[in-house]
C-alpha cells in the first residue's frame, strides 16, 4: 500500500476540469515508466492531467514526450520520498533531504510591515542527485499576483492541490481575480540562498527561500489562472 497521507480522497480536485486527450497521454507516459521498471504511483501522475497546469507548460515540453516524461518521473519520485524523509529527519538523521536547521533574515513586506523570522530544516537539494532525482525536473508551485518586475516570491510547495485550493479559499476575492499559479523547478527556486522546510508544510513539501532576493516571474516554467 502506498503512503499518500490520505490524499486519495482529494484526487478529484486535480481533475475538476478534465480532458480525455491529456488523460490518455499522461496514462501512456506512466505506462512507459512502468515498462522501463520505473513505475510510479499513479496518484502522483494525476496533477499532470489538470488541463490548466498541463497547458501552461511550454510547448516544447508538452510536444516532446521525453521532456514531459522527465518532469513527470522526477516530480513523482520527489513527492514519493517526502514522508520517508520527514521521518528520517525527525529521528535526527540530517544526511537526507532535510538537513540542519537554518534561520532566515528579517525582512519587510511590500507595505513595510516586518516579515517574521522563520527557522526550518534546510532542503538538501544536492542529496536528490544521489538517489536519482533531478531537481531541475521537479516541479513546485506558488500562488501570486502577476508582475512585470521582479518581487519576492519566497514560498513554494510541491503540492498542486494545496496551491489551487489555497487560491480559492485563502485569497481575498479582489486579489483572486488576477492571481496566478507559477510553475517552477526546484533547482531554480533553490538559487535564492537555498530553501528551508516551511512551517506550514502539508501534504507535499512546502518551502521558503532563505535568501531575500526578488524573483523574476519570467524564470518560471509556466503560469496559469484558475
Domain ranges of the chain: 8-224
- Phi first, then psi: give them for residue 223, nearest 5 degrees: -155, 150
What pLDDT score does 183 carry?
98
Residues in the chain: 226
What pLDDT score does 41 carry?
84
Distance CA 77, CA 31 (A): 15
Q: At what angle do helices 20-35 and 65-90 cross, to 10 degrees?
A: 70
Instruction: Quote the pTM value.
Output: 0.88
What pLDDT score does 9 carry?
41
For the chain (226 residues), the mean pLDDT of every run of 10, in chain order, is 38 64 95 87 89 96 96 95 95 98 81 79 98 97 95 95 77 80 98 92 87 96 91
All residues at 6 or more sequence positions from 123 whose CB lies less than 8 Å from its CB, including other chains: 97, 98, 99, 190, 194, 195, 196, 197, 205, 207
Distance CA 152, CA 209 (A): 9
- Phi first, then psi: give them for residue 25, nearest 5 degrees: -65, -45
What pLDDT score does 177 carry?
83
Amino acid at each position: 500500500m502506498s503512503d499518500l497521507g490520505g490524499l486519495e480522497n482529494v484526487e478529484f480536485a486535480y481533475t475538476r476540469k478534465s480532458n480525455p486527450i491529456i488523460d490518455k497521454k499522461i496514462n501512456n507516459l506512466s505506462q512507459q515508466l512502468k515498462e522501463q521498471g520505473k513505475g510510479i504511483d499513479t496518484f502522483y501522475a494525476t496533477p499532470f492531467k489538470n488541463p490548466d497546469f498541463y497547458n501552461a507548460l511550454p510547448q516544447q515540453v508538452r510536444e516532446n514526450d521525453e521532456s514531459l516524461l522527465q518532469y513527470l518521473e522526477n516530480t513523482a519520485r520527489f513527492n514519493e520520498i517526502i514522508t520517508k524523509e520527514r521521518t528520517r529527519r525527525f529521528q535526527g538523521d540530517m544526511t537526507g533531504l532535510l538537513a540542519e536547521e537554518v534561520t532566515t533574515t528579517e525582512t519587510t513586506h511590500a507595505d513595510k510591515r516586518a516579515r517574521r523570522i522563520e527557522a526550518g530544516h534546510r532542503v538538501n537539494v544536492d542529496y536528490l542527485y544521489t538517489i536519482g532525482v533531478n531537481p531541475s525536473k521537479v516541479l513546485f508551485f506558488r500562488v501570486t499576483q502577476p508582475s512585470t518586475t521582479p518581487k519576492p516570491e519566497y514560498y513554494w510547495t510541491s503540492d498542486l492541490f494545496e496551491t489551487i485550493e489555497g487560491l480559492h479559499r485563502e485569497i481575498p476575492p479582489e486579489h483572486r481575480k488576477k492571481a496566478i499559479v507559477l510553475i517552477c523547478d526546484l533547482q531554480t527556486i533553490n538559487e535564492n540562498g537555498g530553501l528551508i522546510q516551511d512551517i506550514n508544510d502539508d501534504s507535499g513539501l512546502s518551502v521558503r527561500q532563505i535568501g531575500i532576493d526578488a524573483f523574476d516571474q519570467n524564470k518560471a516554467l509556466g503560469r496559469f489562472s484558475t
